[in-house]
Amino acid sequence: MSQISYKDAGVDIDAGNSFVENIKPLVKSTAIKGVLGGIGSFAGAFELPAGYREPVMLAATDGVGTKLKLAIESGVNDTVGIDLVAMCVNDLICNNGTPLFFLDYYATGRLDVNVATAVVSGIAEGCRQAECALIGGETAEMPGMYSSDDYDLAGFAVGVAEKSELDTVGNVRSGDKLIALPSSGLHSNGFSLARKVLFEKMGMSFDDPFEGGSLIETLLTPTRIYVKTYKKLKEQIQAMAHITGGGLIENLPRVLPDNLRAVIHAESIRTLPIFELIGTHVAREEMFRAFNMGVGMVFVVRPEDVDTVLKNSDGYLIGEIEEGEKEAVLV
């Protein structure tokens, strides 16, 4: 009677071992002070940094959504890892959490070592941009769950903050100003709608020219990471809102007390061409709910700190905080 191996069932242990060897230098390139040991153990270890009076650990998790489908179909797999890190660490800093370390989960129907290595190279680049360490992860080869070429990603970021700095909502006052930091594109939200419009409704293709490059290059531009800007301007920032799914309208109220509203001057928003293209087939209100519209992060700052923030970032004014019902409104 013939014997069946794990490889016959669709799981290649040797490929998994080869993958681990490939990513060791990538993981090492993200090492920062506090990392204890290397990959290969059962858990990653990180020493809590000194200097905090009441340190609180913060955690955030996210994925990349259907942007992965475009990466898989185009064969460009070395940037979505940046997206994965960005979606997590950009959330952490909104609660004054300084990112410390990151872990990833990579699931696929068939482990292609080259593709998986490209993905982790992006994750490592994201960690370097966020100044945090990649200290571990999990690779799952699951034939029957995913088709052979498909893969999925999830990320987990952990940071540290002073307990007294967690409540940013209490910092926001009437008269504060809203400073927008530009996005690099769609970031990692709204791709189901974008794909529906661009490829089904408009019949476009990946190689169609757009903004001096190709459409797929624009769509796969990785999510911007705002950690370094946050660290530089932390003392001038009263609150921050990461503009993801739900757009400005649904994310800004998350940093407001019940008696204040965010007033956004629509004409001030520097909308990117990709949103203008998609917007030819989508209502304006829906665009502002599905996409960031060119704004990746919003800082709430005191009027006297506006000049400092503008001089030390690429941000620009888009509105202010006023008395009123808790909401964000476009005027």
Q: Give the CATH number for residue 269.
A: 3.90.650.10
Judge contact between 248 and 329, C-beta under 8 A.
no
Indicate whether 2 belongs to any domain: no
In a structure prediction context, what are the per-residue pLDDT tens digits for the chain, which is 331 residues long?
678 777 766 777 778 788 888 888 888 899 999 999 777 778 889 999 999 999 999 999 999 999 999 999 999 999 999 999 999 999 999 999 999 999 999 999 999 999 999 999 999 999 999 999 999 999 999 998 988 889 999 999 999 999 999 999 999 999 999 999 999 999 999 999 999 999 999 999 999 999 999 999 999 999 999 999 999 999 999 999 999 999 999 999 999 999 999 999 999 999 999 999 999 999 999 999 999 999 999 999 999 999 999 999 999 999 999 999 999 999 9
Q: What is the CATH number of the domain that holds 141?
A: 3.30.1330.10
CA dist 167 to 66, 179, 256, Å?
33, 20, 11
Same domain, 201 and 143: no
Is the residue at 189 inside a domain? yes
186 in any annotated domain = yes
Which pLDDT belongs to residue 1?
Answer: 67
Asked whether the beta carbons of 255 and 237 are under 8 A apart, the reply is no
Note whether residue 130 is domain-resident: yes
pTM for the structure as a whole: 0.95
H or E stretch at 317: strand 316-323
Residue 8 lies in a domain: no
Q: Which domain holds residue 283?
A: 169-330
Same domain flag for 48 and 142: yes
93 shares a domain with 176: no
